[in-house]
Amino acid sequence: MDSFLIRGGNRLKGKVEISGSKNSALPILAACLLAEGKTVLKSVPRLSDIDSMVKLLGELGVHVYRHEPTEPPQGAMPPLNGNLDIEVRDERISEARYDIVKTMRASICVLGPLLAKRGRAVVSIPGGCAIGDRPVDLHVRGLQKLGAEFRTEGGNIVGTVPGGRLRGCRMYLGGAMGPTVLGTINVMCAAALAEGETVLVGAACEPEVVDCADLLIKMGAKIKGHGTPEIRIEGVEKLTGAEHRIIPDRIECGTFMMAAAITNGELELKHCNLDHLIAVQDRLDEVGVKITRENGTIFVASSRRLTPIEMTTQPFPGFPTDLQAQLMALLCLSDGMSVITERIFPDRFLHVGELNRMGGRIRKEGPTAIIQGVKEFQGAAVMCSDLRASAALVLAGLASRGEARLDRVYHIDRGYEKIEQKLKAVGADIERVSER
């Protein structure tokens, strides 16, 4: 099992190329089940979660081939993002096995495409990060309204389409914790091949939803309103393969913005969309982080003294829950008391104890964390518990005095492409070590 050894105190400076979005690529890969012919996806990151989805697609009769990178690396940056060629060759299998599904929640995204294209789906109830209860009932409920029937059997969700084709309708997609991103994408994909019009009210507005809709439109789908709370889909008879570039990963971009800030560094982040990070920019501006942009490049620098703030996670365009842990690490070094409230996944505070082991002063009260700023982090041995908590510990390690050891970094490999190589290229003292 791999670990990171980080010797903190180095000021990050240089250029970082941001990879394609993991949270966009995973449901888009599932959406390729809908298309006839070859689809070419560009900027698909090389991640363990992507590998799992590709393996799952392979079991569902899809041929996936990854090309080697064609663009030369930027300076000391590692090469990234070879294209993926995707083609459905066998539609006889409609079962997503537990052995694959247990590793990532995004595997639920094959449910809608399988039902719409093959009329049957057997999907194990998914696993993924342990950050609280994230039920898939909104996915099932939305697909039921399109005419699918479900039952549970041996830990699997078994869905069928009695009439042979799903039927469009008007439905509300909101849940107790707000809109569902993967649920919106799942139902939108299914509706693309349904009979008649589907209207999704209370749809998620995240850039990842827009990215998937853009691909479906290139395939021949008729979709309007994506990026708003009301999406209209006019079902078509078939979809055909297309070429599409995955949007930049806004969570990776935000993580590197905070890496620059926590080390008092200066980073030039290539291939970004700051419009996807408007709430993050707002909060970091108040902290004392200077952010400017020029075309697709973001320039980040920070003040030596960081100002404490209050922040609440919210659905897009609010502050994303996937950057909450990283912001908490940054605020540990602010000059005063900060407050973070988690409204998306109230249990998402597994990083608090580990940040405190490194010298942080954080107190958790229900869905709120109160952070008292300290002068520095101290190197310590800590355990990575989930993907974004791992990123927070990397940030703390970069700013620590002494050596930090992060165990179980397979969590971070699920969502950050070659993160230690990217950090090394801009001055971090970080290395990956393997236990024998």
Q: Per residue in 362-373, pLDDT tens?
A: 999 999 999 999
**DSSP 3-state of 405:** strand
* Residue list, annotated binding site: 22-23, 105, 134-138, 322, 344
Q: Mention every residue, 6+ apart, whose C-beta is less than 8 A from residue 436.
A: none
Whether residue 380 contacts residue 358, with contact meaning beta carbons closer than 8 Å, is answered with yes
* Residue list, annotated binding site for phosphoenolpyruvate: 22-23
Q: Is the pTM here over 0.85, yes or no?
A: yes
What is 22-245's CATH topology?
UDP-n-acetylglucosamine1-carboxyvinyl-transferase; Chain (3.65.10)
Could you tell me which of 178, 39, 29 has the C-alpha nearest to residue 106? 29
Q: What is the mean pLDDT of the chain?
A: 93
Segment 79-125, tens digit of pLDDT: 887 799 999 999 999 999 888 887 777 889 999 999 999 999 999 87
Residue 30 has pLDDT above 70, yes or no: yes
What mean pLDDT do residues 133-144 have? 82
Segment 181-221, tens digit of pLDDT: 999 999 999 999 999 999 999 999 999 999 999 999 999 99
Strands 170-172 and 197-201, by their bridges, are parallel
The reply to whether domains 2-18+248-434 and 22-245 share a CATH topology is yes
Which residue among 32, 109, 129, 384 is the active-site one? 129
pLDDT at 132: 44
pLDDT at 85: 97
- Told to judge if 32 belongs to the known catalytic residues of this protein, a careful annotator would answer no
Residue 423 has pLDDT above 50, yes or no: yes
213's enclosing H/E stretch is helix 207-219
pLDDT at 125: 78
Which sequence spans correspond to the domains of the chain? 2-18+248-434, 22-245
Calculate the CA 188 to chain-centre distance.
19
126 — pLDDT class (breaks 50, 70, 90)? low
Residue 308 has pLDDT above 90, yes or no: yes
What radius of gyration, in Å, describes the C-alpha atoms of the chain?
Answer: 21
Could you give the percent of the chain with pLDDT greater than 90? 83
Among positive and negative, which fits the CA dihedral 177, 178, 183, 185? negative
* Residue list, annotated binding site for UDP-N-acetyl-alpha-D-glucosamine: 105, 134-138, 322, 344
Q: Mention every residue, 6+ apart, whose C-beta is less than 8 A from residue 267.
A: 12, 13, 14, 15, 16, 256, 257, 259, 260, 299, 300, 426
Q: How far apart are CA 78 and CA 382, in angstroms?
A: 27
pLDDT at 413: 93
Residue 346 has pLDDT above 80, yes or no: no
Cα distances from 201 to residues 39, 184, 185, 322, in angstroms, run 29, 10, 13, 24
Domain spanning 2-18+248-434: CATH superfamily: Enolpyruvate transferase domain (3.65.10.10)
pLDDT at 105: 76
Calculate the CA 184 to chain-centre distance.
15
74 — pLDDT class (breaks 50, 70, 90)? low
Residue 56 has pLDDT above 90, yes or no: yes
